[in-house]
Amino acid sequence: MAYSPVRKYKKKAVRRGREWLVRMLTALFSALFAFFGSWSYGQTGKIIPRRELLTGTASIHFIDVGQGDATMILTGDAAVLIDTGPRSSAGALTEYVKTYAGRLDYLILTHPHEDHVGGADDILESIPTGRILMPLVENSYTESLLHTAEEKNIPVFDTVPGSQYTAGEITCTLLGPVHKNYENLNNVSAVIRVDVGGTSLLISGDAEQEAELDVLMAGNLPLLDCDIYQVGHHGSSTSTSLEFFTAISPDHCVISCAYGNEYGHPHTTVLQLLTLSGAAVYRTDTEGTIVLDTDGKTITRRGSLVAAEEKQAS
Ligand SMILES: [Zn+2]
């Protein structure tokens, strides 16, 4: 074919046009990716640690809040916080939840005592929360929380035994409180079995032996059997009766309390019971925040894994 400057110009123009189209499409896809990418992040607001991104993995964070409880259950797409520690650690707890979860599907409060609900207002103020679950008993904390929940349009549910709440792969089954008319408010504590990624966790707040017995008598034996036990009432001897502990028969026990606390928690008799059972025992008062990771088969303490890797590298 004869050389034609016009055809060559046309070819060049077509090529330029194609290049322009490719550049435009690349820019468009990049913009769409950036937009939808940030949008999906914006929706969840999550900063997900690498381990939670792996399919089927979950982590349970026993957050060091001093004398109190605050436990977060986290998967790649769901987060549940059970209790919020005392008022004095509300700021640190809020920062922790903001960093690891960003939002909560459920805030569960075992019972309205300061060392369990003291940080709830700060959490509700700073962390988008889907639902609240707590024992609806007459109490100034309960009233204040109901008021905040109404202001923020967050539905509140009473802790009814037998009820079940699910967020992604996290399922919370309520085993207690069996009654609401206990004289001691500790006994109104929600007793919760959490199932996540093939692992089970039992949390009983500050429920004492009387309430533990009621949970046992209500026929919950198969559901009490759990892998991890957050030791009742910060390791106080008023809780964790031999019968209750035997029904749980955990492999891992976590005690949440403050170092040198005025109550002497955890009490020696409880520590002896846990140790004699052969379960691994972790304490926030001496070890700080405890994070247990699970892939459904193995439960690993996060800190120990890091320590082991560092040891190998050195
Ligand atoms: Zn307590």
pLDDT score, position 115: 98
Task: Calculate the alpha carbon distances from 191 to 50, 103, 176, 211, 297 in Å.
Answer: 31, 23, 5, 9, 24
- Band of residue 290 on the pLDDT scale cut at 50, 70, 90: very high
Q: Does some domain include residue 245?
A: yes
Q: Does some domain include residue 109?
A: yes
Judged by average pLDDT, the poorest of 42-46, 93-97, 144-148, 180-184 is: 42-46
Query: In this predicted model, what pLDDT tens digit does every residue of 244-258 receive, in sequence order?
Result: 999 999 999 999 999
User: 115 C-alpha to center of ligand 1: Å?
Assistant: 5
Q: Does some domain include residue 84?
A: yes
Structural domain harbouring 252? 50-313
Judged by average pLDDT, the poorest of 6-15, 91-100, 108-117 is: 6-15
User: 188 C-alpha to center of ligand 1: Å?
Assistant: 12
Q: Does some domain include residue 22?
A: no
- Band of residue 310 on the pLDDT scale cut at 50, 70, 90: very low
Q: Domain total for the chain?
A: 1
Q: Does some domain include residue 243?
A: yes
pLDDT score, position 23: 64
**Model's pTM, two decimal places?**
0.81
Full 3-state SS string of the chain: CCCCHHHHHHHHHHHHHHHHHHHHHHHHHHHHHHHHHHHHHHHHCCCCCHHHHCCCCEEEEECCCCCCCCEEEECCCCEEEECCCCHHHHHHHHHHHHHHCCCEEEEECCCCCHHHHCCHHHHHHHCCEEEEECCCCCCHHHHHHHHHHHHCCCCEECCCCCCEEEECCEEEEEEECCCCCCCCHHHHCCEEEEEECCEEEEECCCCCHHHHHHHHHCCCHHHHCCCEEECHHHHCCCCCCHHHHHHHCCCEEEECCCCCCCCCCCCHHHHHHHHHCCCEEEEHHHHCCEEEEECCCCEEEHHHHHHHHHHHHC
- Band of residue 45 on the pLDDT scale cut at 50, 70, 90: very low
Cα 257 versus chain centre, distance: 18
pLDDT score, position 57: 83
User: 117 C-alpha to center of ligand 1: Å?
Assistant: 10
User: 113 C-alpha to center of ligand 1: Å?
Assistant: 7
Q: Does some domain include residue 29?
A: no
Place of tokens 């992604």: 168
Task: Tell me which residue of 152, 89, 155, 158 sits closest to 117, measured CA to CA.
Answer: 89
Q: Does some domain include residue 171?
A: yes
The terminus-to-terminus CA distance of the chain in angstroms comes to: 71
Residue 135 token pair: 């024992």
Residue 225 sits in a domain of what CATH number? 3.60.15.10
pLDDT score, position 296: 83
Is the pLDDT at 33 greater than 70? The verdict is no
User: 232 C-alpha to center of ligand 1: Å?
Assistant: 8
User: 205 C-alpha to center of ligand 1: Å?
Assistant: 7
User: 46 C-alpha to center of ligand 1: Å?
Assistant: 29
- Band of residue 302 on the pLDDT scale cut at 50, 70, 90: confident
Query: In this predicted model, what pLDDT tens digit does every residue of 234-244 receive, in sequence order?
Result: 999 999 999 99
Q: Within 10 A of 132 (CB to CB), how many other CB atoms are there?
A: 22
User: 102 C-alpha to center of ligand 1: Å?
Assistant: 25
List CB-based neighbours of ion ligand 1 within 5 Å: 115, 206
pLDDT score, position 14: 55
Query: In this predicted model, what pLDDT tens digit does every residue of 133-166 receive, in sequence order?
Result: 999 999 999 999 999 999 999 999 999 999 999 9
pLDDT score, position 48: 45
Instruction: Check if the beta carbon of residue 70 is closer than 8 Å to that of residue 15.
Output: no
